[in-house]
Structure 1
Amino acid sequence: MHEDVRGLLNPDESGAPLASLSQIEDGGFAEAEATIDGDAESLILHRDGDAVRAWLNICPHAGRRLDWAPGQFLKSREGHLVCAVHGATFELSGGVCVAGPCRGESLRAVAVAVKDGNVVLP
C-alpha cells in the first residue's frame, strides 16, 4: 500500500506553508521541500489527527530517499513507514527503525507546527 499526495507548497522561509493539513490523509504521508540549515531538503510529513511529525526524507541505512516515487511512500500493515529501497521499517512516534538493515537507528526529525490549517516550519 502507498500514500500519494501531490501539489504541496514549497516554502523558502520559516512560517511558510509546507502543506495544507487537509491535503494529508489522517494516518498518511506527504512529501514537502524546504530549506533546512541552508540546504534544500525533502521532508516526510506524517499526519496523526491534527498533529504532524516530520523527518528528512533520507534513510539512515544508505542515505537514499524513502519514497518509491516523489511523494509516494510505502506503509506496512502495522502502519509503519517502509523504505522503498531496502525495506527498513520505521515506527512513527519517533522515527526509529524497528526492522531492516538500520535497526535501532532513527530518521532525522524536523520540527514542524500546524498553524491556521497549514503545516509550517516554526
Structure 2
Amino acid sequence: MTLPPAGTELGRVDAIPDPGGRVADWPGLPIILARKGDEVRAYVNVCPHAGRPLNLPDGRVIAHAGTHLICPAHGAIFDILTGKGDGALVGGDALKPVPVRVENGLILAA
C-alpha cells in the first residue's frame, strides 16, 4: 500500500457532505474522505471486516446519525472522526488512517 505523497490534493472540503464522506480523487490508493463539521479525516477505503469499499457503486457514502460511516456490504459502523469500529460486526477493528491536512478548503495528503 502506497500512501499519496505529502501535498497531493485529494479533494475539497465543500464537496463532502456534512456529516458524511466521499471517495478521494487520487487513483493510487482507494481513499475515503470523511467530514464532520470542520473536521476532515481520510481512511483507506476498505472495510477491515468485509474487505469491501465503504462507498456504494454510485460513489455515495452512507453516514448514520452524523457520527458514523456504514459499510454497505454488511452494515458495520465506523466513527467518522476516529475510524474506530463500533459494535459486534467489526470486533474492534478500525479503518486505516491516511494523514491529511486542510488548506484553503483543499484536502491535502500530509
| TM-score where L is the length of structure 1 | 0.76
Following TM superposition, by how much is the alpha carbon of 1:33 offset from its aligned partner in structure 2, in angstroms? Answer: 4.1
- Asked if 1:56 corresponds to 2:44, the answer is yes
Is the contact between residue 86 and residue 100 of structure 1 (CA under 8 Å) also seen in structure 2?
A: no
**Residue 93 of structure 1, aligned match among 81, 84, 89:** 81
1:111 is the counterpart of 2:103: no
**1:76 — aligned with what?**
64
Question: Which runs of 5 or more structure 1 residues have no equivalent in the other structure?
Answer: 1-11
Using the TM superposition, name which of 65-74 and 79-88 deviates more. 65-74
Same amino acid, percent of matched pairs: 35
Q: Which runs of 5+ in 2 are unaligned?
A: none
How many residue pairs get aligned? The number is 107
What SS does the aligned partner of 1:72 have? coil
The SS at the match of 2:30 is strand
Of structures 1 and 2, the one scoring higher in RCO (CA 8 A, sep 6+) is 2
Distance 1:101 1:50 in 2: 29
**Secondary structure, counterpart of 1:120 in structure 2:** strand
Of Structure 1 and Structure 2, the greater strand share is in: 1
RMSD: 2.0
